[in-house]
Amino acid sequence: MEFKRFGRTGLKVSVACLGCGGSSALGRFVGKSEEYSINLVKKALDLGVNFFDTANVYGTEKIVGKAIKNMNRDQIVISTKHQIATKDMKYSYKDIINGMENSLKELNTDYIDIFHLHGVAPQDFDHAITIVPQLLKEKEKGKFRFLGITESAPIDPKQLTISKGINSNYFDVIMLAFSIMNQNAKKEILPKTISKNIATMSMFVVRSLFSVKGRLQQDIFRLVKDKQLPEWFLDKKEPLEYVLKDSGAKNIIDACYRYVRHQQGIDTVLFGTGNVDHLKKNIESILAPELSKESVSKINLYFSHLKGVGLDFPERK
């Protein structure tokens, strides 16, 4: 495993971060037992992963807590989250602090390394900021070490929330969407995080766009129709065949992880799975060398202008 200094937090994190939500939630959403999910986390630990991202709404905090029960706590980095608002309500600072207390209980830990305001929509950002002073009081009590913020990518393709979060100087960590076909952050966000030494967690690296059969072809067709991609993309049996030719990648999923992993300004790559074999393959991809320079140039040429591609919420059975 490779490790990085995590921005100004000073934490040492694995470049591969196991995401405990998504379409699988460690297998919880696809019918796997709690024991299976716990063993999945333990397998990630065996493979060198020390960074785990969960949230109160995922239902996996207790699983992570049980998996790390006998580990040295200072060797594990835990990120968890609480929503600021839903469609029907806004959470008060008391609601969020109560949620934090419950997360500590579920994780069976004395402190959370990174506590995020979760999926903050642009219209809720001002409300989120009003809660920060109260959260910082909880930080002083030792309940968490660093404050983070995550965007709601499907409803914020321009990444307005993350941009505001960076400018506020409250947040030590941000979680943002970034992929081969969603590179907006490269110009708008990452130069700022690098300058301010803010740690980054990249999500939506694969998701449905690249993992659901036929989905990529559908999006390629739409993008060609909208004149955002050249028509020859429709002539290929596999839509990214030409772009990834001689890239060094084993397949499109492998290419997705490798491209993001080696992007300047990306500290750690989130990956989710409910399958042990996929766990191993995903980690291998994240640890693999950068794609060929020629292939990276083609990816940037054809996809760097795209916005909002592949940012749908995870599909769950």
Residue-wise pLDDT tens digits, 77-121: 999 999 999 888 899 999 999 999 999 999 999 999 999 999 999
pLDDT over 60 at 317, yes or no? no
**Res 22: pLDDT:** 84
The catalytic site residues sit at: 58
pLDDT tens track for 274-314: 999 999 999 999 999 999 999 999 999 999 999 989 898 76
pLDDT tens track for 260-278: 999 999 999 999 999 999 9
Q: What is the mean pLDDT of residues 167-180?
A: 96
Helix (H) or strand (E) holding 17: strand 16-19
**Cα gap 238→256, rounded to integer Å:** 15
State the burial class of residue 137 (Cβ atoms within 10 Å of its Cβ: 0-12, 13-18, 19+): exposed
pLDDT over 90 at 211, yes or no? no
**Chain centroid to CA 315:** 16
Q: Tokens 């000073």 map to which residue?
A: 10
Measured in residues, the chain has a length of 317
Measuring CA to CA, which residue among 212, 214, 183, 190 is closest to residue 309? 183
**Res 30: pLDDT:** 84
Where exactly are the structural domains of the chain? 3-303
Q: Strands 112-120 and 144-151, how do they pair?
A: parallel
Q: What is the mean pLDDT of residues 187-216?
A: 93
The residues that bridge with 179 in the sheet, in sequence order, are 182
- Report the mean per-residue pLDDT for the chain: 94
**Res 245: pLDDT:** 87
> Binning pLDDT at 50, 70 and 90, where does residue 257 land?
very high
The CATH fold assigned to 3-303 is TIM Barrel (3.20.20)
* Distances from the Cα of 115 to the Cα of 79, 86, 146, 152, 300, angstroms: 6, 18, 6, 16, 33
CA end-to-end span of the chain: 32
